[in-house]
Amino acid sequence: MYSHDMTSLPRTPTDSIPAARAAAAPPTLLPRSSIRLSSGDVAFVNEGAGDAPAALFVHGVLVNADLWRNVIADVADVRRCVAPDLPAHGATPAPDADAAAAVLSLNGLATMLDELCGRLGLDQVDVVANDTGGAVAQVFAARFPGRIRTLTLTNCDVHDNFPPEPFTPFVALAESGELGPMVAAMAADMAVARSEVGFAQGYAYPDKLSDEILASYLGPFVADQGKGLERFLTASSAEELVAVEPLLAELHAPAQVAWGTADIFFEPSWAERLRTMIPGVERVTLVPDAMLFWPDERAADLVPLLRDFWEAHT
């Protein structure tokens, strides 16, 4: 193990439909394609060199694949970049209420990623994940280890820290049906969206978030008043994450952890916990003063970590 301290053309599957053609497409920034999977329609970004090794980017709650836009812009010369919108986020619709428990569990979302890779012909991928996407990625890597070329985990849920304690009031609001309308209302008030009750909890400089990116994140929650978001937040459990730890202990794919030190949800100690849990972890990088969504806000710090790690393991 070693430490690292920090002081083309899109390819679209023939059975996919560019989301831009849809009349009611949400206001996302990067272009989307859409594919029908067993869990339903899934929208995804598909950028970069079509014949290059593929990277799979997995976002978390309240954002979407546009979180990765700045990273993708700087790695698309060496990777085919696939970034799905998780259900109820971005341009991927929420599942029906009767299917939500299965589709939106961590196991269901991991299965969705595996099916997406299969349908796109991606035998192996370099996984890059953040926030709840990191929990999904851990289950994906544990259950489908043959898909993993490399694994990069940024600030995310680990072990039983799911949801993290500061986020539990939001899950309670989701359970009571109160969170969705509040989040949907934020889409019409960018000042609130940038405030301490909004994205200031995950961004160090929320005032720099453009109206366009906030519309991308929040706009998709308006039509159903956040009901799909509420299902997403209440369908999965820490038990699913803890249950795969024995499988993660057998994962020997090259892995790295890159962690913002100013995250109010995931303290740096969780980065070290991942090092002990996953034998393939080769380095833990601490990113000073970075908050939860630093892969967007400080993409320039993440890109070199990805490029040299991928180069070492291609």
Domain ranges (residues) in the chain: 17-166+236-312
What pLDDT was estimated at residue 220?
96
Q: What is the pLDDT of residue 23?
A: 36
Instruction: Give φ, ψ of 257 to 5 degrees.
Output: -125, 130
Cβ 61 vs Cβ 162: under 8 Å:
no
Q: List the one residue out of 161, 53, 59 whose CA is nearest residue 42.
A: 59
pLDDT of residue 2: 31
Hey, CA dihedral for 281, 127, 314, 261, is it positive or negative?
negative
pLDDT at 27: 72
pLDDT of residue 6: 37
pLDDT at 25: 54
Contacts of 159 (CB under 8 A, 6+ apart): 238, 241, 242, 245, 270, 273, 277
pTM: 0.92
Closest of 35, 34, 43, 46 to residue 216, by C-alpha: 43
Max intra-chain CA distance, the chain: 50
How confident is the model at residue 92, as a pLDDT?
Answer: 97
Q: CA nearest 104: which of 91, 85, 89, 87? A: 87
Work out whether strand 33-37 and strand 17-18 pair parallel, antiparallel, or are unpaired. Answer: antiparallel
Q: Which residues of the chain have pLDDT under 70?
A: 1-26
**What is the third-level CATH fold of 17-166+236-312?**
Rossmann fold (3.40.50)
Reduced to 3 states (helix: H, G, I; strand: E, B; else coil), residue 48 is strand
